[in-house]
Structure formats: C-alpha cells, structure tokens
C-alpha cells in the first residue's frame, strides 16, 4: 500500500486464499514498472517465489485500496 501511494498509483491489492497476493495497478508506465519490480522483493519477512504480470483493463478504482481476502 505504501509503495503504491509513493508512486501515485491507483488500484487495489488483496491476499488470496491460496496464499498468493493479487494486485491491480494503474498509473504512469514507469511507475507501474517500478512497482512491479518492488513486488519482486516484497515487504519485510515476505517470501516471494515469483511475480506474474499481465496487462488488464483499468477498473477505475480511485486511489489504492486493500480488498478483502478472496
């Protein structure tokens, strides 16, 4: 959440029931790329095995929010 805010990105993040994390981010191309690279490291004490990135449609979410686990 902090990293997305720092980059002025829009979208959302949620934990998934299978232990993965799903993120939809929208913003300037360089900022999205920077955020994607940040996800490869993850937050303190996180174990990141891989990051899969695909292009999706912007869903119009204002700001950057946390969604319930799903």
| Contact yes or no for 49/56 (Cβ under 8 A) | no
Of the candidates 15, 67, 9, the one whose C-alpha atom is nearest the C-alpha of residue 46 is 15
User: In this predicted structure, what is the pLDDT of residue 45?
Assistant: 85
Range list of β-strands (E), the chain: 10-15, 21-26, 64-66
- Asked whether residue 63 is domain-assigned, the answer is no
Give 47's contacts (C-beta < 8 A, 6+ positions apart).
Answer: none
Q: How many domains does the chain have?
A: 1
- Asked whether residue 59 is domain-assigned, the answer is no
- Asked whether residue 54 is domain-assigned, the answer is no
- Asked whether residue 33 is domain-assigned, the answer is yes
User: In this predicted structure, what is the pLDDT of residue 23?
Assistant: 96
Instruction: Taking residues 1-19, report their average pLDDT.
Output: 95
Give 27's contacts (C-beta < 8 A, 6+ positions apart).
Answer: 7, 8, 9, 10, 11, 35
The pLDDT tens digits for 16-59 are: 999 999 999 999 999 999 999 999 988 888 889 999 999 999 99
- Asked whether residue 68 is domain-assigned, the answer is no
Domain that holds residue 28: 1-43
- Asked whether residue 62 is domain-assigned, the answer is no
This prediction has a pTM of 0.87
């Amino acid at each position: 959440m902090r990293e997305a805010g720092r980059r002025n990105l829009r979208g959302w993040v949620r934990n998934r029931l299978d232990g993965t994390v799903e993120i939809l981010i929208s913003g300037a191309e360089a900022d999205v790329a920077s955020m994607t690279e940040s996800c490869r490291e993850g937050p303190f004490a996180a174990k990141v095995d891989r990051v899969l990135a695909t292009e999706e449609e912007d869903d119009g979410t204002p700001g950057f929010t946390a969604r319930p686990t799903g």
